[in-house]
Amino acid sequence: MAVLDYIIPGYKGYRQRTESRGTDRAFRDYMTSKLKESHDQLEQLKMQISMDISKMDLLTDAEQTTALLTKVRDRLRWANQGFAGTLMGSSEETEAIQAVEKFDQDLEGLRVNVHTQLQNLATSVLGSENPKPLFFQLMTALRQMDSHLNERENLIRKLLH
């Protein structure tokens, strides 16, 4: 297909945008599935908490955490692609696409942090340690993801204007 980049004017930019859209969709699908796994793990954790009367006070924290995780997962799933611009393959559009991809790479690091915090929380709930501070750490990690999604949206808004 690279031959068409040189034969048909504008084709290279079209092809790059199409590939970027596909990559963006695949990445967001991957992230959504990973966050769904975390959501399912959190739901199992809530069941374990509800079976232990001494830990019932943790259910409020667990519900708040679940709500925030659901919000972040859904925001990511339905986030704007940012690759529907009208710059027609210009260097400005290429730089903008690279900036969104950089944001997405950072987002994976934040997701891994959420996963780690959730693993720590699960270990704590099963043990004798007080899990309340770990709920706070997990909520903080989720808020960082939410904030990062806000920055991504702002970047995409700049692209579209």
Read off the pLDDT of residues 50-72 as tens digits, 9 standing for 90 and up.
888 888 889 999 999 999 999 99
Query: Quick one: which H or E segment has residue 79?
Result: none
Q: Which of helix, strand or coil describes residue 88?
A: coil
Q: From the CB of residue 119, how many other CB atoms can be counted at a distance below 10 Å?
A: 14
pLDDT of 81 > 70? The answer is no
pLDDT of 149 above 80: yes
Token look-up 């596909």 returns 22
Which pLDDT does position 102 carry in this prediction?
83
Residue 77 pLDDT class (50, 70, 90 cuts): confident
Q: Please state the rounded mean pLDDT for residues 90-109.
A: 78
Enumerate helices (H) and strands (E) in the chain, giving the number of each: 5, 0
Pick the residue with more confidence: 160 or 33? 33
Q: Where are the domains of the chain?
A: 2-160
Return the pLDDT at 87.
47
On whether the CB atoms of residues 89 and 14 are closer than 8 A, the answer is: yes
CA atoms within 13 A on the CB side of 116: 9
CATH for 2-160 (1.20.120, 2.60.40, 3.20.20, 1.20.58): 1.20.120
pLDDT at 75 over 60: yes
- Res 88 pLDDT > 80: no
- Across all residues in the chain, what is the average pLDDT? 83
Residue 89 CA neighbour count, 13 Å, CB half:
11
Quick one: which of 144, 143, 69 has its CA closest to 106? 144
Percent of the chain with pLDDT over 90: 43
Q: Residue 86: in which H helix or E strand, if any?
A: none
Q: Which two tokens stand for residue 132?
A: 């309340």
Residue 121's pLDDT is 92
Instruction: Judge whether residue 114 has pLDDT over 80.
Output: yes
Name the band, by pLDDT with cuts 50, 70 and 90, for residue 12.
low
